[in-house]
Structure 1
Amino acid sequence: MILSCQNISKSFGTDEILKNVSFHIEANEKAAIVGINGAGKSTLLKIIMQKETPDTGEVILAKDATIGYLAQYQDVSGHRTIYEEVLDAKKNIIEMEERLRGMEAQMNALTGQELEALLDGYHRLSHEFELLGGYTYRSEVTGILKGLGFVESEFDRQMSELSGGQKTRVSLGKLLVTKPDVLLLDEPTNHLDMESIQWLEGFLMNYKGAVVIVSHDRYFLDRVVTKVVEIFQHQGYVYQGNYTEFAKKKAKIREDLLKQYYNQQREIKHQEEVITKLKSFNREKSIKRAESREKMLDKIERLEKPTDENTDIHIVLEPDVTSGNDVLTVEHLRKAFGTHTLFDDLSFEIKRGERVALIGNNGTGKTTILKIINELLLADGGTIVLGSNVHIGYYDQEHQLLHMEKTIFEEIADDYPQLNHTKIRNVLAAFLFTNDDVFKRIADLSGGERGRVSLAKLMLSDANFLILDEPTNHLDITSKEILESALNQYTGTVFFVSHDRYFINQTATRILDLTGGTIVNYIGNYDYYLEKHDELTRIYVEAEPKAQAAQMTEQTVAQDGSGTDKKADWQTQKAEQARIRKLENTLKKAEERIAELEDLIAGIDEECADPANATNSAKLGELTGRQNEYRSELEKCYEEWEQVSMELES
């Protein structure tokens, strides 16, 4: 056991947050802490990090164990660059490297016992330096930054220039580089695109230490964790398994508790009816028997009806009219900002009843496409045609369609003047806005509260074509599940952008992958997309001639094989196989050269230790010079090996 929380309780004034929460984490274990927004998950992490003091209970960390913490919000500034900020986590290795260089410089000026003593210290320090990854730490920093979505051209940007999300990614990178025995991560997948999330999954699954994660990303939790700690109605409940297994076990437990509650209620009602009947006989013997039953009934420990948190949110999405079969047709769409072209010659269609997810890395233009369709941005070229009787309902992740100066009540009343006071109150109550909450200004709401207002307006719109931009941002898991259920029962058409892979998997019937400046169409959910994405090459339109690129604008991969261009698939697979063989050969050559260089460096170490050379400063200088050249080449080989390995993995 590396970390233990025992009977942790915490209140803020009269508001009880945590009550006797207990759990433990084993070395190398990967665990999740889940619960609704406001349940106390982040508070619990702060208590573990001693940033908050519990009212009762204690946190026990194993002796000599190190712990690292990524808070949900970061306030990192200063004049360091991104690379320097993350490299600072290797300060001890950098100082060790400087000491080694200093010792090497002294060797030419020393002889005899002084030189022998210096060499002895040099070899000990070199060994420690190597064990700590001294020869690979720079490539490690580079690899982690790239994995988190930074390109090398961004490494020199100063921290003061970065957005909040970018600062969080830098802080995560710095934490991963330090490799503590226990990693505490609060919403680590926020601000990461899908590619970076997949990289982080692999990193954490192979991490040589314990990891405790607070996250609403259920797909991420399914892949990484083997234990779930749920904070439910202030208390902690521990489940073995990933998120899906936890959800099944919790549903079964709740079902069993409900059965016990209803069985007890039936028994209580039966006993009360018998007591009433016995008393109605108005005989001494019957009355005594009734009193005896009453005493027994009073001794029964009454079960409380199990409840779910946040299930009061009611989302009912239903179109007012049925649209035509062709809902949206996009042809040859183009958009650039200055000299940067986001996409060129994009074409795709959406039919009635489909639920289509648009996915892709950050910066590829997904939100831009939605804004162009909603006429919030102008396209530079191409056409967008809506079908007959199509009525759009738009959910904007930035909530720019909300009026910051209005109250929640005014936001609904002004857009839907046909609704009376009571109806507006009822709609807002369905989204957990009750009493004086409805008079809060939009500007004063949290991201999650603004999301609920936008969802309320979406429900009232009666639209038959919903366009949703990151609808699950700021929603807790229970609210996401309620939205998933509403969308799956919706009889209209849905087109949405999301990074929430679990949400996509539950709702999408088709996936459009915006990659390499083109659209790849997968007829299936996210699991199917992953299955086919691994088999086929990613399409690099920019490497193709213009005419060929236009022909390949929509490469369709269907579950039943229909609509697939078999010849194009074969050519794609053949090209991909050739590319993989080339990468494997490069990797093999790099490994062979790394082995050679390591042998050469080890051989020079032995030569330096030879007493005949120990007193020969010229010889030592020559050996050290060669060794430095080999180490420099070795570092480049390590970087090449790492880059090729990552490319092969993808």
Structure 2
Amino acid sequence: MITVSKLEVRAGARLLMDDVSFRIAAGDRVGLVGRNGAGKTTLTKILAGEALPAGGSVTSSGEIGYLPQDPRTGDPEVLTRDRILSARGLDTVVRRLRDAETDMGSDDPAVRDRAMNRYEKADAALHAAGGYAAEAEAAQIASSIGIADRLMDQPLRTLSGGQRRRVELARILFSGAETLLLDEPTNHLDADSILWLRDYLRNHKGGLVVISHDVGLLEACVNKVLHLDANRAVIDVYNIGWKAYLAQRETDEKRRKRERANAETKAKTLTDQANKMRAKATKAQAAQSMLKRAEKLMQGVEGERQADRVAKIKFPEPAPCGKTPLTARELSKSYGSLEVFTDVDLAVDRGSRVVVLGLNGAGKTTLMRILAGVDESDTGGVVPGHGLKIGYYAQEHETLDTSRTVLQNLQSAAQQLTDTEARSVLGSFLFSGDDANKPAGVLSGGEKTRLALAILVVSSANVLLLDEPTNNLDPASREEVLAAIRTYAGAIVLITHDEGAVHALEPDRVLILPDGVEDLWTPDYADLVSLA
């Protein structure tokens, strides 16, 4: 499985963890937890062999299946089915079968004979790799996490970011890897898919390391917790389930606080006594001994745990605009023969709140990209109203320039900011010191979320287009985003699976895709949010 020994991990000059050792064995279902930016994603990359530590060693045995936060689906022309089957090398075998079947219909007898031989060899290879049962297994996994049958024979380029991420999750689950490393696996899954995934992971016989803010998933699956304490740069290992971990961690924090208080009291008594004795030459040596004992006492206790820092988020004061800053008329979008939606109309009035609902693949993200001017519709168009300033939060963070630094990304969005002002804003989003000079491409999902939110904050936008803004956030940061949504004075168009985000928005209207039905919001629509 995986053995970690005396690991040291850094982000630039910043120490994330030091002298860390642990083991992931068969049957260990580990929840890797800690605040955003603590180094969880960096650690999983190291465990997967995709990054190197600053010190120490990681050894592994058996196949590892790694799901990063950002989808990496390879060739955009590959079919969804083939991408999933490639986890066991079955994609090439299936393609050989298809090609042979085509050639077997040739009018040329020689071509038919060669095709028959190729078909027999490919069929034998398919059976050796699990046969048609393996294909059925791949299809069952895909269906269980919300990949519709019609998507299986479509090229990856026609899929949304959320759909591509589900394809990667299906591929890794189908791979049969002994150890699974899953970074936020429930992102973009609907409620039924999340329930299925909980059962699947709970029954996984190999090793599992999961990073997730889904408490239900952690409660259902985890029998071991690695808590990455960013303040102490250590990992605390708890060989217990999630609820027991929460109780034990609280007990441990109280114990550390009590031990430190006792040590400080004793050290102060020794120091005070030593200071009194130091004035007398005959007792100088004894005083020095007491000071050493006081120092040793304080070295033996852990530092007091500092409260985790949370990004302070307040969306901008919206720039002045007309009564209806954004209007969309008769929008439609297709990818080849696949019609995503058609004849969608939407008028976004000043200060209005609209939530967009629809099943996965209904075109919600596609619509948002069209409204933001990133993509073009096939018909109709978007009409900007007087004074329109759009702030677009993309769920896959594709609006960030990954080749530029954190600071450069912010400055490109708000060129009026001085270097000092920009660094001050970044500091409030927990990018301090050298963090501002890191390329955006090396940031974790949570860090990219914070940077994208920082860009919104300095945008002075009067219409915010928010596509899953609470993904990848720890609970405290999520609450900051919800508070910012509640108090923002401009218009918001929101896509989310997070019922709390909808409650914070207090929408006045709902747009349901792919039909494009617009209606006044009522509490009856709330049941659709987790299915969206």
**Structure 1 residue 143, shift from structure 2 partner:** 2.0
State the SS of the aligned residue for 2:226.
strand
Which of the residues 355, 364, 367 maps onto 2:365? 367
Higher helix share: 1
C-alpha distance 321-527 of structure 1, shift in aligned 2 (>3 A): same
Q: Give the conservation status (yes or no) of the 8 Å contact 1:512–1:519.
A: yes
Which of the residues 456, 459, 464 maps onto 1:458? 456
Aligned runs of 1:74-89 on 2, under 5 Å?
74=72, 82-83=80-81, 86=84, 89=88
Per-residue CA distance 1:287-325 (angstroms, 9 max, x = gap):
8986675354234133343456972x532416548999x
Give the aligned partner of residue 469 of structure 2: 471
**Structure 1 residue 212, shift from structure 2 partner:** 0.8
**Structure 1 residue 376, shift from structure 2 partner:** 6.6
**Structure 1 residue 424, shift from structure 2 partner:** 3.0
Give the aligned partner of residue 21 of structure 2: 21
Cα distance in 2 for partners of 1:499, 1:424 equals 29
Query: Identical aligned pairs, as a percentage?
Result: 19
Cα distance in 1 for partners of 2:19, 2:234 equals 5
Structure with more relative contact order (C-alpha pairs < 8 Å, separation 6 or more): 2
Aligned runs of 1:287-436 on 2, under 5 Å?
293-294=290-291, 296-302=293-299, 303-307=301-305, 311=309, 314-317=311-314, 320=317, 334-337=330-333, 340=339, 342=341, 358-370=356-368, 393-397=391-395, 409=407, 412=410, 419-435=417-433
The one-letter code of the counterpart of 2:488 is: G
C-alpha distance 394-273 of structure 1, shift in aligned 2 (>3 A): farther
C-alpha distance 21-257 of structure 1, shift in aligned 2 (>3 A): same
Q: Give the conservation status (yes or no) of the 8 Å contact 1:70–1:188.
A: no
Cα distance in 1 for partners of 2:343, 2:273 equals 79
Which of the residues 210, 214, 223 maps onto 2:210? 214
Which of the residues 230, 238, 253 maps onto 2:227? 230
TM-score (normalised: structure 2):
0.63
Per-residue CA distance 1:571-593 (angstroms, 9 max, x = gap):
xxxxxxxxxxxxxxxxxxxxxxx
Residue 140 of structure 1 pairs with residue 137 of structure 2 = yes
State the SS of the aligned residue for 1:335.
strand
Residue 492 of structure 1 pairs with residue 508 of structure 2 = no
Q: Give the conservation status (yes or no) of the 8 Å contact 1:408–1:453.
A: yes
Q: Give the conservation status (yes or no) of the 8 Å contact 1:399–1:451.
A: yes
Cα distance in 2 for partners of 1:162, 1:374 equals 19
Give the aligned partner of residue 34 of structure 1: 33
C-alpha distance 412-139 of structure 1, shift in aligned 2 (>3 A): closer
Which of the residues 143, 147, 151 maps onto 2:148? 151
State the SS of the aligned residue for 2:314.
coil
Q: Give the conservation status (yes or no) of the 8 Å contact 2:351–2:492.
A: no
C-alpha distance 420-366 of structure 1, shift in aligned 2 (>3 A): same
**Structure 1 residue 201, shift from structure 2 partner:** 1.5
C-alpha distance 402-522 of structure 1, shift in aligned 2 (>3 A): same
Q: Give the conservation status (yes or no) of the 8 Å contact 1:7–1:20.
A: yes
Per-residue CA distance 1:242-292 (angstroms, 9 max, x = gap):
66765665456445534544564466456545655x369x67899898667
C-alpha distance 76-164 of structure 1, shift in aligned 2 (>3 A): farther
The one-letter code of the counterpart of 2:429 is: F
**Structure 1 residue 336, shift from structure 2 partner:** 0.8
Per-residue CA distance 1:136-158 (angstroms, 9 max, x = gap):
55433322232344433443456
Count, aligned residues: 479
Give the aligned partner of residue 66 of structure 2: 70
Q: Give the conservation status (yes or no) of the 8 Å contact 1:74–1:164.
A: no
Q: Give the conservation status (yes or no) of the 8 Å contact 1:466–1:495.
A: yes
Give the aligned partner of residue 187 of structure 1: 183
Q: Give the conservation status (yes or no) of the 8 Å contact 2:327–2:346.
A: yes
Residue 204 of structure 1 pairs with residue 195 of structure 2 = no
Which structure: larger Rg? 1
RMSD after superposition: 5.9
Q: Give the conservation status (yes or no) of the 8 Å contact 2:315–2:456.
A: no
Q: Give the conservation status (yes or no) of the 8 Å contact 2:183–2:212.
A: yes
Per-residue CA distance 1:337-379 (angstroms, 9 max, x = gap):
258352656779999798x764544432323554566577788
Cα distance in 2 for partners of 1:79, 1:419 equals 42
Structure 2 residues not aligned, in runs of 5+: 98-126
State the SS of the aligned residue for 1:364.
coil
C-alpha distance 183-512 of structure 1, shift in aligned 2 (>3 A): farther
Aligned runs of 1:574-613 on 2, under 5 Å?
none
Give the aligned partner of residue 586 of structure 1: none
Cα distance in 2 for partners of 1:185, 1:440 equals 25
Give the aligned partner of residue 482 of structure 1: 477
